[in-house]
């Protein structure tokens, strides 16, 4: 009798990359064995699929678990975390989409002027998950040209919104005091400031400011400042700035301090992020390195993408 085959253990590896065909999107494929993401939000939309294992996260007051066959997401500004929801980690693909790009591609589908909104963090939509996975893989390996890439991306975004989008409704107006503190932190992200200094800006007690700030942003001021620094660090790394210089420019004590927080929020190190996405790299195609693929798992052509249309509409388009 042969040896029983051991299940493949998930390693910690994150790779970010861009495609010149879709410049408004940052892509990622990775695997996580024991990564725990700190609570944070994105300036972008985040869409993804889990290929192995399970990803658990707290989002909009609920606990979600993303597994193969589902689409996981976060809309801009919504606080969430991330962790393995099984004992074997998870392997997944993500796309981080600029708000302007999402607005552009969904023009005509949205009600009102606001950005698209999808409430749940996990969508049980196996068809959409398969399409996203195939589109992501074909783009990564150079299997799409400009027209097919933009077609596949448009189909995904529009079907996502048509099937799962919601009206945002009226959100409560932000407190002026919190808005002033946020602006101050954005303009002074590289400074070490105290809670007392922030409270004095708006003539509030430190306790009242802390409570109001956390209620509105989902984070205390110190965590919000760290998130601002990490976002700015990503922008500088994408432009090709060395990590040691980035650390000094955004307000971290040194490169190790930047690395520690970058890994907790982004999932990889600044050096690896620069290597994968900097001006000298980061625009596929990349060789597949995460296991064999069957033909049925490959990316759909634009023709296959039309299958995502409701059947009554597909017949009309194809006739």
Contact assessment for residue 155 and residue 303, using Cβ atoms and an 8 Å cutoff:
no
Predicted confidence (pLDDT) per residue in 140-152, tens digit: 999 888 999 999 9
**Which tokens hold the place of 312?**
């009554």
Domains and CATH numbers, the chain: 13-169 (2.60.120.10), 176-277 (1.10.10.60)
Counts for the chain of helices (H) and strands (E), in that order: 12, 10
Predicted confidence (pLDDT) per residue in 32-77, tens digit: 988 999 999 999 999 999 999 999 999 999 999 999 999 999 999 9
Q: What predicted TM-score, i.e. pTM, was given to this entire model? A: 0.78
Percentage above 90 pLDDT, the chain: 62
**Which tokens hold the place of 124?**
């049980």
> Which residues are registered as beta bridge partners of 94?
28, 48
Half-sphere exposure of 193 (CA within 13 A, CB side): 24
Going by pLDDT thresholds of 50, 70 and 90, the confidence category of residue 106 is confident
Give 59-93 as a 3 state SS string. Answer: ECCEEEEECCCCEEEECCCCCEEEEECCCCCEEEE
d(CA 195, CA 173): 23
- Whether the pLDDT of residue 249 is over 90: the answer is yes
């Amino acid at each position: 009798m042969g040896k029983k085959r051991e299940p493949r253990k998930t390693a910690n590896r994150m790779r970010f990359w861009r495609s010149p065909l879709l410049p408004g999107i940052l892509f990622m494929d990775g695997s996580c064995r024991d990564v725990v993401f700190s609570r944070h939000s994105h300036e972008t939309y985040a869409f993804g699929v889990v290929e192995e294992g399970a990803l658990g996260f707290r989002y909009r007051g609920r606990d979600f678990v993303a597994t193969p066959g589902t689409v996981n997401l976060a809309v801009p500004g919504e606080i969430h975390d991330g962790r393995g929801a099984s004992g074997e980690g998870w392997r997944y693909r993500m796309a981080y989409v600029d708000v302007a790009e999402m607005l552009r591609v969904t023009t005509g589908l949205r009600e009102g002027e606001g950005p698209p909104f999808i409430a749940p963090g996990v969508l049980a939509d196996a068809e959409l998950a398969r399409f996203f996975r195939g589109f992501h893989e074909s783009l990564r390996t150079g299997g799409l040209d400009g027209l097919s890439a933009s077609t596949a991306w448009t189909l995904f975004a529009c079907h996502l919104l048509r099937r799962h989008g919601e009206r945002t409704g009226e959100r409560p107006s932000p407190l002026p005091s919190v808005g002033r503190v946020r602006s101050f932190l954005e303009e002074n992200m590289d400074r070490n400031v105290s809670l007392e200094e922030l409270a004095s800006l708006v003539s509030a007690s430190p306790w009242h400011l802390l409570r109001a700030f956390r209620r509105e942003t989902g984070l205390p001021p110190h965590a919000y400042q760290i998130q601002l620094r990490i976002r700015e660090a990503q922008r500088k790394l994408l432009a090709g700035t060395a990590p040691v210089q980035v650390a000094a420019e955004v307000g971290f004590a040194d490169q190790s301090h930047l690395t520690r927080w970058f890994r907790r929020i982004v999932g990889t190190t600044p050096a690896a992020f620069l290597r994968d996405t900097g001006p000298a790299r980061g625009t596929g195609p990349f060789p597949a390195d995460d296991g064999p693929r069957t033909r049925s798992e490959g990316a759909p052509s634009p023709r296959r993408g039309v299958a995502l249309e409701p059947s009554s509409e597909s017949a009309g388009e194809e006739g």
